[in-house]
Amino acid sequence: MTRSDKGRRTIRDVADAAGVSIATASNALNGIGRTKAETVEKVRRVAEEIGFRPNALARGLLKRRSHAIGMITNDTYGRLTLPMVAGVSEALVDHGVSVFLCATNNDPRLARLHLESLLDRQVDGIIFTATRLDMRPPAEFAKLPIPMVYAFAEGPEESVTFHPDDAQGARLAVEHLQGLGRQRILHITGPEEYRAARIRADAYRALTGDGASVVFGEWTEEWGREAVAQMLSSGHALPDAIFCGSDEIARGVIDALRDNAISIPDDIAIAGFDNWEIVAKQTRPPLTTVDMELKALGRRAGLAIHRLCNGESVEPGTTRLPCSLIVRKSSQSDPR
């Protein structure tokens, strides 16, 4: 008899095929009771052979698990969150766990509504993520009866938190430019109140010493163009490289330099930060930039929440995951 002869297989089909009771088959598949090891192995082998797929809701009720987690973010456009969601899903799919993504649009009321909805769905845990490292969730999140993990956001003391290593990423960019023989490196970055901007600036200063020059502004192309205008009107010698705190800033910088007939990378080499591919690959020339490896960060967060939901221990504190450097033509004409 083929699988299509009877449609969806049931636990009764498994029991009949294995020659055991329905209760024994259920216990074997769910890992409960005192079923003999050889019986468990036989039942699971038969279930796979006949194509039995356990009902997720019934399995969840039995184990008091929903096999779902929630992700709450203030990232309206998903530029940072979507790669992390992909990593979380990749980590959880083989465990049969679904992910519900909720965007708050920086509205505390909406955040509370999403939280209530996820709790009503009885999710097993929640990952909170944001658009900046120092973004804290609403106070209600600290009192939840389910596990919490923080990714690209700031959790309470002793929480499980994952951040990209911004200092290491900045060093990759600056050391790359220095390795090309560039000695007068300018750093144009975002608002100083952002922790990520300060971390990257400090790493840049540590490598460039007395020649360090940091210009804080906004995370926008407009600011990149304005920063170049200020640089050109200052009367100072031009840098031979610019390390930008974001890809959007770098795109504005490149546009402004080209408008002023300054060759990239021959006159000034450029490096960005984010590897936002829709920007970095379309920049002319394509942008050398730091990739924060957000998918890998999401994968680590997903594995951590899964372990916590299973009652396993996870080392608390902030784990900083390494970035990588993507070399394109804005820093060297023939990237290695």
Note whether 43 and 23 are within 8 A (CB). Answer: no
Mean pLDDT of 108-121: 86
Is the pLDDT at 336 greater than 70, yes or no? no
pLDDT at 43: 87
How far is C-alpha 59 from the geometric centre of its chain's CA atoms? 30
Read off the pLDDT of residues 231-248 as tens digits, 9 standing for 90 and up: 999 988 999 999 999 999
Read off the pLDDT of residues 128-140 as tens digits, 9 standing for 90 and up: 999 888 888 877 7
Q: Give the three-class secondary structure for 269.
A: strand
Exposure string (b/e) for 216-234, b if CB count within 10 Å is 16 or more?
A: bbbbebebbbbbbeebeee
Question: Could you give all domains of the chain from N- to C-terminal order, each with its CATH number?
Answer: 3-54 (1.10.260.40), 68-164+294-321 (3.40.50.2300), 166-292 (3.40.50.2300)
147 Cβ contact partners less than 8 Å away, ≥ 6 residues apart: 124, 125, 126, 305, 308, 309
Is the pLDDT at 52 greater than 90, yes or no? no
pTM: 0.78
Structure tokens at 148: 């919490």
Mean pLDDT of 283-302: 96
Note whether 273 and 216 are within 8 A (CB). Answer: no
Read off the pLDDT of residues 37-48 as tens digits, 9 standing for 90 and up: 888 889 889 888
Is the pLDDT at 328 greater than 60, yes or no? yes
47 Cβ contact partners less than 8 Å away, ≥ 6 residues apart: 9, 14, 25, 29
Strands (E), the chain: 68-73, 98-103, 125-129, 148-151, 160-164, 185-189, 214-216, 241-244, 269-274, 288-291, 317-321, 324-326
